[in-house]
Amino acid sequence: MSDDPGLRIAQDEQAGIAEAERLVKEAEFGARELGGWSFWLSGALALAMTAFQLWTAAVGALPAAKQRSVHLTFALLLGFMFYPAVKRARSPRLPWYDLVLAGLGAYASLYVTLHYEALLQRVGTPEPRDIAVGVVLILLVLEGTRRAVGLWLPVITVLFVLYAFLGAWMPELISHRGYTVRRVVGQLYLTTEGLFGIPLGVSSTFVFAFVLFGAVLERTGAGEYLIRVAFSLVGHTRGGPAKVAVVASAFMGTITGSSIANTATIGSMTIPLMKRVGFKPEVAGCASPTSRSPRPRPCPPSSTSSRCSAPSTSWRSSTGSGGCRGTSCRGSCPRWSRACTT
């Protein structure tokens, strides 16, 4: 059998498709596969979201509240369509209650854009209707987060919201007088310091572009090219396939912020290749997924980010806690992998 790395990649590409699909589904926490009219509707919404994001990126972002409101609207619509209430319920048929929740979420989020001028005129004095719509949006965002990410993030969020109401009953060190529902909901919903804060702003302006670029790379086969480059650098060394996974993930992390796109492009070939040459499954599970954890971060020259973590910030050397400069260095698990910060 030939030892040509290119031939190995070709042989393992087909075997890696099923593995990549499994990893992507795990990363997406049980997203359903839509069919029929719901499939076409979700595609139309995704295209509309892409067009909106690219248009605002080219022409200029809208006012912060409007930009983030529309972005969140698309996210809620697609989120309630793709993520079922229960992970086990992955039927391609879209339940009526998910459509209702998606519609309510879209209205509650677009409410800020539709009534933008009126809301500006009554800043600090929200009307009962504003509060009611805000409560609906907060609850739907929490539910959407539970479906897409899991239970603990919404639980932590609810605890902090409860702290705003129950401050008067807290220990003296962390107590406060407490706030009304009107004050809390107004702060979370009608300002850029709550739901429409900096994280959503970054997502609506920068993150989406990187994720879109990663998806394009995945579909055009650019991931295979990155793997070939990584093979030419470290494929001939001891433990080459695992090193290839780390280096290729580092390359992918410089141009996309999506760990899902990274897994689909790099993991689909490197994981089965590592198993084929004799790596234990748990070693492949350490080298490949951990090289993409935490999620790959956009690095220069693709962004103006001043900090780059590639391939991982969770692998630390036993002799030091800081990062190192460059694109390849040794670490603790495995020895040759480590966080690389600039």
Whether 1 shows a pLDDT value over 90: the answer reads: no
- Residues 27-42: what's their mean pLDDT? 77
- Residues 102-126: what's their mean pLDDT? 91
Summarised one tens digit per residue, pLDDT across range 192-204 is 888 999 999 988 8
Mean pLDDT score of the chain, rounded to an integer?
74
Model pLDDT, residue 25: 53
Whether 37 shows a pLDDT value over 80: the answer reads: yes
152: Cβ contacts below 8 Å, ≥ 6 apart: none
Model pLDDT, residue 324: 36
Whether 23 shows a pLDDT value over 60: the answer reads: no
Whether 295 shows a pLDDT value over 80: the answer reads: no
What residues does each domain of the chain span?
1-29+208-305, 31-196
Summarised one tens digit per residue, pLDDT across range 229-282 is 877 887 777 767 777 777 777 777 666 555 655 665 666 667 777 777 677 776
- Residues 145-153: what's their mean pLDDT? 90
- Residues 53-72: what's their mean pLDDT? 89
Question: Can you tell me the distance from the alpha carbon of 192 to that of 208, in angstroms, rounded to the nearest whole number?
Answer: 19
Q: What is the pTM of this model?
A: 0.66
Residue 339 — pLDDT band, cuts 50, 70, 90? Answer: very low
Pick the residue with more confidence: 270 or 6?
270
**Residue 44 CB coordination number (10 Å):** 10
DSSP calls for 211-270: HHHHHHHHHHTHHHHHHHHHHHHHTTSTTHHHHHHHHHHHHHHTT---HHHHIIIIIHHH
Summarised one tens digit per residue, pLDDT across range 169-197 is 999 888 998 899 999 999 999 988 889 99
DSSP calls for 118-169: HHHHTTT---HHHHHHHHHHHHHHHHHHHHHT-SHHHHHHHHHHHHHHSGGG
Residue 288 — pLDDT band, cuts 50, 70, 90? Answer: low
Whether 307 shows a pLDDT value over 60: the answer reads: no
256 close to 337: Cβ distance less than 8 angstroms: no
Summarised one tens digit per residue, pLDDT across range 87-107 is 776 677 888 999 999 999 999
Q: Which amino acid is at 148?
A: A
298 close to 309: Cβ distance less than 8 angstroms: no
